[in-house]
Structure 1
Amino acid sequence: MSIWWSLHLRREAASVPLARRLLLGTMESAGVDPDISYDLSVALTEACANAVEHGGDTGHGGSSEAFRVTAYLDGEKCRIEVADSGPGFTGRPSPRPSHSEAEHGRGLYLIRELADHVQIGNKPGRGGAVVSFDKILKWRNDAPLVAV
């Protein structure tokens, strides 16, 4: 079984729950275990929130108002990628939040905790950040789309 979709979303807060609901609906329809679906939806929410908050263009016009979310469910793994058109990451993102009471800086840490494999970097060429992560899927007993 293989499913993939890609969204081009406006860089505004209302886009975040839209992406999350689409992912949860896809997982539910495919028969993914709800705990796995929840973990991936929280990680996606954090990645999208980062794109909305930090993914603004630095004056190149037009494309700064959008970000892209792509999800792949392929066999036993789900891979999600969130890419924006902002300035990208300057330096290496910290593996831990600055402190537990911090208002910011916990999103990438949460993604690392919830996913099995995480890649954080910049798009080659014209810039922008890319956060991609994947997780091994578990299936409900009544899953309609399980690979055999």
Structure 2
Amino acid sequence: MSIWWSLHLRREAASVPLARRLLLGTMETAGVDPDVSYELSVALTEACANAVEHGGGGGSRGSGGRPSEAYRVTAYLDGETCRIEVSDSGPGFPGAGDEVPAVPSADAEHGRGLRLIEELADHVQFGNRAGRGGAVVSFDKLLKWRDGPALLLA
């Protein structure tokens, strides 16, 4: 089975639950184990929240003082793996490659969401978009299936 979707969302807090609900609905329809779906949805929520908070370029504002920039969420369910990618148009991670930025201290106000993504996913990459700028957070997780019928796609 192979399913993929991509969303182009405004950098507004209201966009985060939309992405999460779409992922959970896709996972339920495909027959993914609810625990795995929940872990991926929490990781997605953290990545989207990071894009909303930090993903703007130059701090420009649209009408009503809201951020005018957007971010993109793409999810792939392919065989036994789910891969999710969240990219924005902000300044990106300083000196990022395959390594996450410096480990935040226990009382830090920022950076804990990236660590949570690392704990919930099997493989994580934090990087910057080539050429256009912006951060990219991508993560994979092996899927488990629930008992009972699932959507069969050809």
What is the TM-score when the length of structure 2 is the normalising length? 0.87
Runs of 5+ unmatched residues, structure 2 = none
Match of 2:117 in 1: 111
SS in structure 2 of the partner of residue 132 of structure 1: strand
Amino acid at match of 2:92: G
Counterpart check, 1:54 vs 2:54: yes
Once the two structures are superposed, the pairs formed by residues 2-41 of structure 1 within 5 Å of their partners are: 2-41=2-41
Go from structure 1 to structure 2 and tell me whether the alpha carbon gap of 1:96 and 1:143 turns closer, same or farther (over 3 Å shift): farther
What's the CA shift for 1:98? Answer: 1.4
What's the CA shift for 1:61? Answer: 8.8
SS in structure 2 of the partner of residue 46 of structure 1: helix
Q: Does the 8 Å contact 1:119/1:133 carry over to 2?
A: yes
How many residues were matched structurally? 146
What's the CA shift for 1:58? Answer: 2.1
Give per-residue Cα distances to partners, 1:11-49, cap 9 Å, x unaligned: 010000000000000001111000000000000000000
What's the CA shift for 1:76? Answer: 0.1
- Give the aligned CA root-mean-square deviation in angstroms: 2.1
Counterpart check, 1:77 vs 2:81: yes
- Distance, in Å, in 2 between the alignment partners of 1:51 and 1:74 is 25
Counterpart check, 1:132 vs 2:122: no
What's the CA shift for 1:95? Answer: 6.0
Match of 1:91 in 2: 95
- Distance, in Å, in 1 between the alignment partners of 2:61 and 2:108 is 32
- Distance, in Å, in 2 between the alignment partners of 1:5 and 1:95 is 31
Match of 1:120 in 2: 126
SS in structure 1 of the partner of residue 83 of structure 2: strand
Runs of 5+ unmatched residues, structure 1 = none
Go from structure 1 to structure 2 and tell me whether the alpha carbon gap of 1:146 and 1:120 turns closer, same or farther (over 3 Å shift): farther
What's the CA shift for 1:126? Answer: 1.3
